[in-house]
Structure 1
């Protein structure tokens, strides 16, 4: 019998934001995101200038934990999630830490989307989910070897998840998803009439 093993595994972390005891009121967080978006004129201008569908504070307010207490509670929880994921990844941090680099709000209206991208200057990236109405799009993750499979045939529709070229992960409100920052990902078009709201973040090695 042949011996077939899996090599070079891509890990995806999923847990509840409150896994380590932190309690964040979901309605308060959603209202905070909407209020910040309404007041952030610089962010609105950036979105308009760059044809960004919806709102993001990525280019205007990435220090949310310093400005708003509810985001400080979120970061305290995320620090523990990232430390847990780093342990699973067998990272040798050499006495240093993974620390928050930036954190920002994403609000996608109906028809909004985030095209495929990576976060090249970070180690771990992720998102926690604030509002996921019925019809809101899943997170789409791409096999990092995809660009090198130029002559490969397509996978079968019923291929095992670890063999698929793309995997869709459907989070719920309160979920935290983490992945290594080199993993290409996107948010397909939001088909819901309501806003899809999330808070994304990057951690660097310091």
Structure 2
């Protein structure tokens, strides 16, 4: 008998690099405080906490600390692309957008994907005790039809959902089609992350 795993879904996790965590956290709060358009969008769309996703597209230009983050991300994304064995045909993966997420107690980010991008990810700025992990969904879920549930102690590669609880300074990367969500933040303090997409150019 021979068994093999097919169609791997890769998840990259590493330290972002020598980024000043205090400066990055302070910059996130400063931007959130001053971003009237972003706060209005969050209120109009019942978005918990704050995100700059719908308002600011030039964070690296506004704050040098974000340019340092992007410089570090470029290196990580290149490594991920090599591991994924993408045939980039002489082109590169470049930053498409980058945004701040401040999730207060009780806040959630519902399940979603990032259409039209190649690689997506998050780096973690503030993760208080009790802050929610990120939850990844098996991309085959919609095709399992009448399949029974997996055993509670199933091997990680066989589970329907995987929870990853990163630490401040970590970066996670995945292919943009991978569905993910952030369950409810059970901490009394804010959970802060910076998310991003890379496109093929």
User: Is this a same-fold pair by TM over 0.5?
Assistant: yes
| 1:11 equivalent in structure 2 | 10
Q: Structure 2: how far apart are the matches of 1:24 and 1:10?
A: 28
| 1:40 equivalent in structure 2 | 35
1:47 is paired with a residue whose SS is helix
- Aligned match of 1:152 in 147, 155, 167? 147
Q: Structure 1: how far apart are the matches of 2:123 and 2:176?
A: 15
Q: Deviations over 1:133-192 (max 9, x none)?
A: 000000000000001111000001000000000000010000000000000000000000
Instruction: State the Cα distance separating 1:66 from its structure 2 match.
Output: 1.3
| 2:193 equivalent in structure 1 | 198
Instruction: State the Cα distance separating 1:17 from its structure 2 match.
Output: 0.4
Counterparts of 1:67-106 in structure 2, within 5 Å, are 67-106=62-101
1:87 is paired with a residue whose SS is helix
Instruction: State the Cα distance separating 1:110 from its structure 2 match.
Output: 0.1
Q: Structure 1: how far apart are the matches of 2:3 and 2:10?
A: 19
Instruction: State the Cα distance separating 1:24 from its structure 2 match.
Output: 1.2
Q: Structure 2: how far apart are the matches of 1:70 and 1:183?
A: 28
- TM, length-normalised to structure 2: 0.99
2:94 is paired with a residue whose SS is strand
Counterparts of 1:163-178 in structure 2, within 5 Å, are 163-178=158-173
- TM, length-normalised to structure 1: 0.97
2:6 is paired with a residue whose SS is coil
What count of residue pairs does the alignment treat as equivalent? 201
Instruction: State the Cα distance separating 1:62 from its structure 2 match.
Output: 2.4
Instruction: State the Cα distance separating 1:67 from its structure 2 match.
Output: 1.2
Gaps of 5+ in 2: none
| 2:60 equivalent in structure 1 | 65
- Aligned match of 1:138 in 133, 150, 168? 133
Alignment RMSD, CA only?
0.5
Instruction: State the Cα distance separating 1:43 from its structure 2 match.
Output: 0.2
Q: Structure 2: how far apart are the matches of 1:64 and 1:41?
A: 15
